[in-house]
C-alpha cells in the first residue's frame, strides 16, 4: 500500500483550510477513531486545531461506559453552544462515539446546537453528512452500519506522526457482562481481515512508527480472515507484524481471560517484539460476583492463566480493571478481590465504582451497594494497587531497560519514552533519540514514572541511522 502514501497537501488539494477540533473521551479505540475522523475530513480541507474557539467544525467523541463520562458530554455541549452563539452560528457541532450511539435522540432534544450525531460505525459518512447538514440540521446516523463499511471506506493514509500508533483490529463485544454498555454501543464482535491490518501496519512503519498497539474491545478474540479464507488468530497476526521492517514493538489491549489462547501465551515466550505487559481485566476476585457479572470464568481460572503466562514470559507485567460495589457485593466478596490482587501483584491497574447503566441487566438487580460503602472499598483497593505499582517501579532501579523515546520532556533536552513494561521513562539530554529504541540505565522509579540515564557512550551516528561519510 506504499503507493497510496501521497503527501498530505496533494491529497487535500486546493480546498481552503477549515479548522477541525476533536475532543476525545473514553478508551483508546476512541483515540484511534478520532484520528481516523481527522483522516476522513482532511481531503475536504479540514486541518486539526487545538483551539476550539477557532474551529469551524467541532466533534465530541464520547464515552458511555459510566454515568459520569456520559453526563460530561452535556456540560461540554453547553460550552460549545456558547461558542457557537458567539460566532453567530458559524460552527458545526457533531457528537460521535458511544453516547451518540446510545442516546442520539436525547442529545438532539437536550442540546439544539448539535448539528449531527454519528455512531461509531458511520465515521466514513462524515463528509456526506457535512454537506447535507449545510442544508438541513438534525441528522442522526449510526446504528445500521457494519464496521466493514467503515474500514473499507477510510483512507489508507493516516495523518499520524510519531513513533507509536494505535491500530484497531477488532470491534464490538458478544460477552454481555451484566454491567456493561459496550455490546450495545459497539455492536457484535467483528475482526478486520489480516491483510488489511498488515497493510495499515506497513504504512505506519513507513511513516516511522516503531510500536503499534492493536486495539479491540476483546482484542484477543481477533479472528480476521486470511487470504485462504481461514481465520487468523491474534498470535498469527503478531508473528506477521513482527516481520515488518521497523516495527519493533507490538502491544494489544483489551483482552478477555476466556480468549487468552495457548498460541498467544506461547507467542509471548518466543516473540521479542511482543512486549511483556498484559492488560487482562478480571473485575472481581469473588466467584459469586464474577457469576453475577456474567464473566464466564472463576478466580481459579484467572490464577491458572497468570501462572501459564508467567511460565511463558517470567517478567510479564500484569495490568487489570476492577469494579467495586457491584450489586450484591459483600465485604467478604470485596476481600476476595483484595486477596486476588495480592496474589497476582499488578504493575498497574484501573479500578472503578460500579455505575448502573440504562438497559444493562445489573442496573435492575436488587441489593445495590450504598455509595459510601463503594467509595470506601475503592479507596482501599486503590491504596493496595498503588502500593504494588510503586514497588514495581522502584524495583526497576539499577536495571538496564530498552526505551522507545516518544517525545520531548519539559526540561531542557529531556526526552520521554516507554520501557517494555509501558512505564514512562524520563532521560536528560536525550531529545536527539526520539523515535529510537535505546538501552537506558534506570536510576530510580517513582509512582508514575522512571528516571533513567543514557549509558555512555551515547549511541554512535551509525546506530542512529545517520550516514556518516567514511564511517
Angle at 18 between CA 16 and CA 20, to 5 degrees: 155
232-271 footprint of ligand SAH as x/- string (CB under 6 A):
----------------------x-x---------------
**Nearer Cβ to ligand SF4, position 211 or 259?**
259
64-103 footprint of ligand SAH as x/- string (CB under 6 A):
-xx-------------------------------------
**Nearer Cβ to ligand F3S, position 27 or 95?**
27
Scanning residues 178 to 197, which ones bind ligand F3S (CB under 6 A)?
Answer: 181-182, 185-186
The owner of cell 438532539 is 108
230-259 footprint of ligand SF4 as x/- string (CB under 6 A):
--------------------------x---
Min dist CB 216 to ligand F3S, Å, is 10
Work out whether 287 is an interface residue with ligand SAH (CB under 6 A): no
**Nearer Cβ to ligand SF4, position 63 or 129?**
63
Work out whether 27 is an interface residue with ligand SF4 (CB under 6 A): no
* Whether residue 254 has a cis bond before it, omega within 30° of 0: yes
197-236 footprint of ligand SAH as x/- string (CB under 6 A):
--------------------xx------------------
Scanning residues 151 to 180, which ones bind ligand SF4 (CB under 6 A)?
Answer: 173, 175-177, 180
Q: Determine the distance from the C-alpha atom of residue 71 to the mean position of all C-alpha atoms in its chain, rounded to a whole number.
A: 21
Work out whether 354 is an interface residue with ligand SAH (CB under 6 A): yes
Work out whether 183 is an interface residue with ligand SF4 (CB under 6 A): yes
Residues 6+ apart with CB under 8 A from 334: 286, 324, 377, 380, 381
First to last CA, the chain: 34
253: β partners = 215
CA distance 114 to 423: 39
CA distance 166 to 168: 7
Rg for the chain, CA atoms, rounded: 23
**Nearer Cβ to ligand SF4, position 103 or 171?**
171
Q: At 50, list the grid cell.
A: 487545538
CA nearest to 199, candidates 234, 164, 167: 167
CA nearest to 375, candidates 348, 356, 354: 354
Q: Which of 145, 179, 190, 405 binds ligand SAH (CB under 6 A)?
A: 179
193-232 footprint of ligand SF4 as x/- string (CB under 6 A):
------------------------xx--------------
The β-bridge relationship of strands 415-418 and 424-427 is: antiparallel
Stretch that binds ligand SAH, among 156-164, 176-184, 384-392, 445-453 (CB under 6 A): 176-184
Stretch that binds ligand SAH, among 96-104, 116-124, 347-355, 412-420 (CB under 6 A): 347-355
CA distance 89 to 134: 12
CA distance 449 to 406: 14
The 10 Å Cβ neighbour count of residue 435 is 18
Q: Are 79 and 85 in contact (CB under 8 A)?
A: no
Q: Are 284 and 326 in contact (CB under 8 A)?
A: yes
The β-bridge relationship of strands 317-324 and 211-215 is: unpaired
Q: Are 64 and 357 in contact (CB under 8 A)?
A: yes
Min dist CB 2 to ligand SF4, Å, is 35
378-417 footprint of ligand SAH as x/- string (CB under 6 A):
----------------------------------------
**Nearer Cβ to ligand F3S, position 103 or 406?**
103
CA distance 158 to 58: 20
The owner of cell 472463576 is 298
Angle at 17 between CA 15 and CA 21, to 5 degrees: 130
Which partner in ligand SF4, ligand F3S, ligand SAH, none is near 183 (CB below 5 to 8 A by kind)?
ligand SF4
The owner of cell 483522516 is 39
Q: Which of 321, 335, 376, 431 binds ligand SAH (CB under 6 A)?
A: 321
N residues, the chain: 471
Min dist CB 102 to ligand SAH, Å, is 12
CA dihedral 62, 203, 274, 390 (to 10 degrees): -50
Work out whether 97 is an interface residue with ligand F3S (CB under 6 A): yes
Scanning residues 114 to 173, which ones bind ligand SAH (CB under 6 A)?
Answer: none
**Nearer Cβ to ligand F3S, position 98 or 415?**
98
What residues line the site for ligand F3S (CB under 6 A)? Answer: 26-27, 29-30, 63-65, 97-98, 181-182, 185-186
Query: Interface with ligand SAH by CB under 6 A: which residues?
Result: 65-66, 179-180, 182, 217-218, 254, 256, 281, 283, 321, 323, 352, 354-355, 357
- Residues binding ligand SF4 (CB under 6 A): 173, 175-177, 180, 182-183, 217-218, 256
Amino acid at each position: 500500500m506504499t503507493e497510496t502514501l501521497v503527501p498530505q497537501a496533494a491529497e487535500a488539494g486546493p480546498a481552503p483550510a477549515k479548522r477541525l477540533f476533536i475532543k476525545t473521551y473514553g478508551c483508546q479505540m476512541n483515540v484511534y477513531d478520532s484520528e481516523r475522523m481527522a483522516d476522513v475530513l482532511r481531503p475536504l480541507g479540514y486541518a486539526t486545531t487545538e483551539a476550539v474557539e477557532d474551529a469551524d467544525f467541532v466533534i465530541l467523541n464520547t464515552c458511555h461506559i459510566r454515568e459520569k463520562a456520559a453526563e460530561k458530554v452535556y456540560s461540554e455541549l453547553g460550552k460549545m453552544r456558547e461558542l457557537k452563539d458567539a460566532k453567530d452560528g458559524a460552527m458545526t457541532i457533531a457528537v460521535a462515539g458511544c453516547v451518540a450511539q446510545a442516546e442520539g435522540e436525547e442529545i438532539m432534544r437536550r442540546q439544539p446546537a448539535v448539528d449531527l450525531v454519528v455512531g461509531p460505525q458511520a465515521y466514513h459518512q462524515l463528509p456526506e453528512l457535512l454537506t447535507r447538514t449545510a442544508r438541513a440540521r438534525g441528522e442522526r446516523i449510526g446504528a445500521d452500519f457494519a464496521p466493514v463499511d467503515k474500514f473499507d471506506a477510510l483512507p489508507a493514509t493516516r495523518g499520524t506522526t510519531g513513533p507509536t500508533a494505535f491500530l484497531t483490529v477488532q470491534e464490538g463485544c458478544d460477552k454481555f457482562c451484566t454491567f456493561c454498555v459496550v455490546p450495545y454501543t459497539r455492536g457484535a464482535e467483528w475482526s478486520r481481515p489480516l491483510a488489511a491490518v498488515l497493510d495499515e501496519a506497513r504504512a505506519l512503519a513507513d511513516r516511522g512508527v516503531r510500536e503499534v498497539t492493536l486495539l479491540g474491545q476483546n482484542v484477543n478474540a481477533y479472528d480476521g480472515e486470511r487470504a485462504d479464507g481461514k481465520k487468523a488468530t491474534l498470535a498469527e497476526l503478531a508473528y506477521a507484524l513482527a516481520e515488518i521492517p521497523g516495527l519493533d514493538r507490538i502491544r494489544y489491549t483489551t483482552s478477555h481471560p476466556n480468549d487468552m489462547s495457548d498460541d498467544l501465551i506461547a507467542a509471548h515466550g518466543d516473540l521479542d517484539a511482543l512486549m511483556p505487559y498484559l492488560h487482562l481485566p478480571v473485575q472481581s476476585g469473588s466467584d459469586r460476583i464474577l457469576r453475577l457479572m456474567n464473566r464466564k470464568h472463576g478466580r481459579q481460572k484467572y490464577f491458572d492463566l497468570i501462572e501459564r503466562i508467567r511460565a511463558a514470559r517470567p517478567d510479564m507485567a500484569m495490568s487489570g480493571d476492577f469494579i467495586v460495589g457491584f450489586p450484591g457485593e459483600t465485604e467478604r466478596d470485596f476481600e476476595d478481590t483484595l486477596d486476588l490482587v495480592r496474589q497476582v501483584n499488578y504493575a498497574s491497574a484501573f479500578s472503578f465504582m460500579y455505575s448502573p447503566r440504562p438497559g444493562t441487566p445489573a442496573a435492575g438487580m436488587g441489593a445495590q451497594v450504598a455509595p459510601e460503602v463503594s467509595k470506601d472499598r475503592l479507596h482501599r483497593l486503590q491504596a493496595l494497587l498503588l502500593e504494588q505499582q510503586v514497588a514495581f517501579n522502584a524495583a526497576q532501579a539499577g536495571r538496564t531497560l530498552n526505551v522507545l523515546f516518544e517525545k520531548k520532556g519539559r526540561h531542557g533536552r529531556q526526552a520521554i519514552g516507554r520501557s517494555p513494561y509501558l512505564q514512562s521513562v524520563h532521560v536528560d539530554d536525550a531529545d536527539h533519540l526520539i523515535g529510537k529504541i535505546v538501552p537506558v540505565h534506570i536510576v530510580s522509579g517513582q509512582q508514575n514514572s522512571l528516571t533513567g540515564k543514557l549509558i555512555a557512550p551515547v549511541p554512535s551516528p551509525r546506530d542512529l541511522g545517520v550516514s556518516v561519510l567514511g564511517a
